[in-house]
């Protein structure tokens, strides 16, 4: 079930914008994480490769010193390797020697299955002997699994015998660590993307909520303005309707038109002040004023309504434009709903910070009895905006707005304001 607010085109556009912002934030986050993940994986691969080569170099360099050629012998001595920690650790080790005839023989082996087969090992020894320095190769062990290998040649003066120390990694260890890193980056990245999507959606929802509130305030302002200006605009149309007039009637029409223009100006100023205050742009004006005189000036705007005014001097603190609007709405509401008994006047009483307006109409209807000041609630005439503005203005001034049945028929609508501070 779609609410009326959600069905409005402007609100629908704002909600689409919310999802677009969420998608944009998620896409930007995902792109950044992918780039960072690729960079991290690349740096990690290079770092691991460098660390792996360094560890292999430490092994072969350390074992070179343990391979000896006894004086006068052509066979190398690898007995020290039997108890050497480097030669019997987690790294595969192979020592090959050659008496100088180009054929290599195996003198020592540890974790032999992790290194290339005989032909591969002999070829690696030839390469190291030819390079005359430590070399690094990517090869395959006896089972065809990839392995990183380092080989260092050993030569002795005045002897054709030579040897090569070969060291290789544990097959798959490097790939498992790298796979764990990749999975960590993937899972962590997806988690961060999901969190950014949720956070982006919540933040955009919060910003859109404020925009929707502002949109509703704008629509409320337009509706209130239409309601408040309808009567003076209608009256202005009647006053300025084209017909034959004598000079006195023309002058009277101009006076009425100016009065209606001033009234509309006050109405718009009050509505704008309400909209600006609700938007937080401005604050309510606080001046000390005579509520009885303010009410008298509002009553003078209805010279033909037959209003009976009883006003005692009373001082309040508030915004004169907003209070004038509240009193005006109370009087207009009484005139509208008291029209069923045109012989009875509208009675306005001002005393002790209270303005009470009584009509002699049909009284409170079931629609009004529950909450007569709720926006949109009406007894069948008007739009229900006028009394809602009265309640808002009263609350803004720290007061209250009430409506109750009157003795003998009709209703009494009042606005009660707190007394001014002493001192």
Query: What is the per-residue DSSP string for 288-333?
Result: EEEHHHHHHHHHTT-TTS--EEEE---EEEE-HHHHHHHHHHHHHH
- Is residue 105 domain-resident? yes
pLDDT number for residue 383? 47
Whether 296 is covered by a domain: the verdict is yes
In a domain, 111, yes or no: yes
For residue 27, how far is the Cα from the chain centroid?
15
- Regarding predicted confidence, which is higher, 14 or 319? 319
Q: Which two tokens stand for residue 284?
A: 């309510």
Decide: helix, strand or coil at residue 355: strand
Over residues 270-322, the pLDDT tens digits come to 677 777 776 666 677 889 999 999 999 999 888 877 889 999 999 999 988 88
pLDDT at position 3 is: 46
Which contiguous run of DSSP H or E holds residue 238? helix 173-239
Closest CA to 240 of 262, 255, 225, 230: 255
Q: What is the DSSP string of 255-298?
A: HHHHHHHHHHHHHHHHHHHHHHHHTTSS----EEEEHHHHHHHH
Half-sphere exposure of 364 (CA within 13 A, CB side): 17
In a domain, 11, yes or no: no
133-192 per-position pLDDT tens digit: 999 998 888 788 888 899 999 998 888 899 999 999 875 665 677 778 788 888 888 898
Tell me the CATH number at 391. 3.30.565.10
C-alpha pair distances (Å), 203 with each of 195, 277, 312, 377: 12, 25, 54, 35
Q: Of all helices (H) and strands (E), which one includes residue 18?
A: helix 9-64
Q: Which of 171, 204, 230 is the last residue of a domain?
A: 171
pLDDT tens string 63-108:
998 999 888 788 889 989 988 888 998 899 999 999 877 789 999 9
* DSSP string covering 90-159: SSEEEEEEE-SSS--EEEEEESGGGS--HHHHHHHHHHHHHHTS-EEEEEE-TTS-EEEEEEEEEE-TT-
Point out the domain boundary residue: 108, 139, 171. 171
pLDDT of 359 higher than 90: no
Last residue of a domain, one of 108, 138, 171: 171
Task: Report which of 406, 307, 391, 387 is spatially closest to residue 350, judged by C-alpha positions.
Answer: 307
Q: Which residues pair with 349 in a beta bridge?
A: 310, 356
103 lies in some domain: yes
Q: Give the tokens for residue 125.
A: 């020894």
What pLDDT, in 10s, does the model give residues 203-249?
877 777 777 777 777 777 777 777 667 767 777 777 777 777 677 77
CB contact at 8 A, 29 and 196: yes
For residue 34, being part of any structural domain is answered with: no
CATH of the domain at 79: 3.30.450.20
Strand runs (DSSP E) across 362-421, as ranges? 400-405, 411-416
DSSP letter, residue 89: S
19, part of any domain: no
Mean pLDDT across the chain: 82
Distance in angstroms (rounded) separating the CA atoms of residues 152 and 64: 8
Question: CA distances (Å), 89 to each of 48, 62, 115, 231, in order?
Answer: 19, 13, 14, 99
Residue 376 is part of which domain span?
A: 284-416
**Residue 410 sits in the same domain as residue 288:** yes
What is the bridge-based pairing of β-strands 354-359 and 411-416? antiparallel
CA distance 174 to 292: 91
- Euclidean distance between CA atoms 154 and 137, whole angstroms: 18
Residue 5 confidence (pLDDT) above 60: no
Task: Give the position of tokens 């005839």.
Answer: 101
Helices within 360-407 (DSSP H only): 366-370, 385-396
In sequence order, the 6+-apart residues with CB closer than 8 A to the CB of 51 are none
Q: What mean pLDDT comes out for the span 107-129?
A: 90
What is residue 270's predicted lDDT score, i.e. its pLDDT?
Answer: 65
- Angle (deg, nearest 10), helices 247-278 and 385-396: 60
- CA dihedral for 7, 11, 14, 19, sign (positive or negative): negative
Residue 241 lies in a domain: no
Number of structural domains found in the chain: 2
Whether 95 contacts 81, CB under 8 Å: yes
User: What is the distance between the alpha carbons of residues 277 and 292, in angstroms, rounded to a whole number?
Assistant: 26
Rg (CA), the chain: 48
């Amino acid at each position: 079930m779609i609410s009326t607010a959600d069905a409005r085109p402007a609100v629908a556009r704002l909600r689409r914008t919310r999802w677009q912002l969420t998608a944009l934030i998620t896409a930007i986050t995902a792109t950044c994480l992918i780039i960072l993940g690729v960079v991290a994986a690349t740096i990690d691969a290079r770092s691991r490769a460098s660390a792996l080569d360094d560890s292999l170099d430490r092994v072969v360099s350390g074992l070179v010193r343990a391979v000896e050629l006894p004086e006068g012998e052509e066979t190398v001595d690898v007995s020290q390797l039997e108890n050497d920690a480097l030669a019997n650790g987690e790294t595969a080790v192979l020592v090959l020697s050659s008496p100088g005839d180009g054929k290599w023989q195996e003198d020592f082996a540890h974790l032999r299955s992790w290194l290339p087969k005989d032909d591969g090992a002999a070829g690696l020894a030839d390469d190291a002997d030819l390079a005359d320095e430590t070399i690094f190769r990517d090869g395959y062990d006896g089972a065809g699994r990839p392995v990183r290998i380092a080989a260092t040649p050993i030569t002795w003066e005045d002897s054709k015998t030579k040897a090569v120390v070969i060291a290789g990694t544990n097959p798959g260890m490097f790939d498992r660590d790298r796979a764990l890193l990749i999975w960590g980056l993937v899972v962590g990245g997806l988690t961060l993307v999901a969190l950014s999507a949720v956070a982006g959606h919540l933040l955009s929802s919060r910003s859109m909520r404020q925009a929707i509130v502002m949109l509703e305030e704008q629509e409320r302002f337009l509706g209130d303005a239409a309601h408040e200006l309808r009567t003076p605009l209608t009256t202005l149309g009647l006053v300025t309707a084209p017909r034959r007039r004598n000079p006195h009637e023309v002058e009277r029409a101009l006076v009425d038109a100016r009065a209606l223009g001033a009234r509309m100006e006050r109405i718009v100023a009050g509505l704008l002040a309400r909209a600006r205050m609700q938007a937080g742009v401005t604050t309510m004006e606080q001046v000390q004023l005579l509520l009885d005189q303010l009410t008298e000036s509002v009553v003078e705007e209805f010279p033909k309504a037959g209003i009976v005014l009883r006003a005692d001097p009373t001082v309040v603190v508030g915004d004169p434009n907003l209070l004038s609007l509240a009193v005006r709405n109370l009087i207009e509401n009484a005139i509208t709903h008291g029209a069923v008994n045109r012989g009875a006047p509208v009675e306005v009483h001002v005393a002790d910070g209270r303005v009470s307006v009584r009509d002699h109409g049909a009284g409170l209807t079931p629609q009004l009895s529950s909450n007569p000041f709720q926006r949109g609630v009406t007894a069948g005439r008007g739009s229900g905006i006028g009394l809602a503005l009265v309640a808002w203005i009263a609350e803004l001034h720290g007061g209250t707005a009430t409506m109750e049945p009157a003795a003998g028929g009709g209703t009494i609508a009042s606005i009660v304001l707190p007394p001014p501070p002493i001192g």
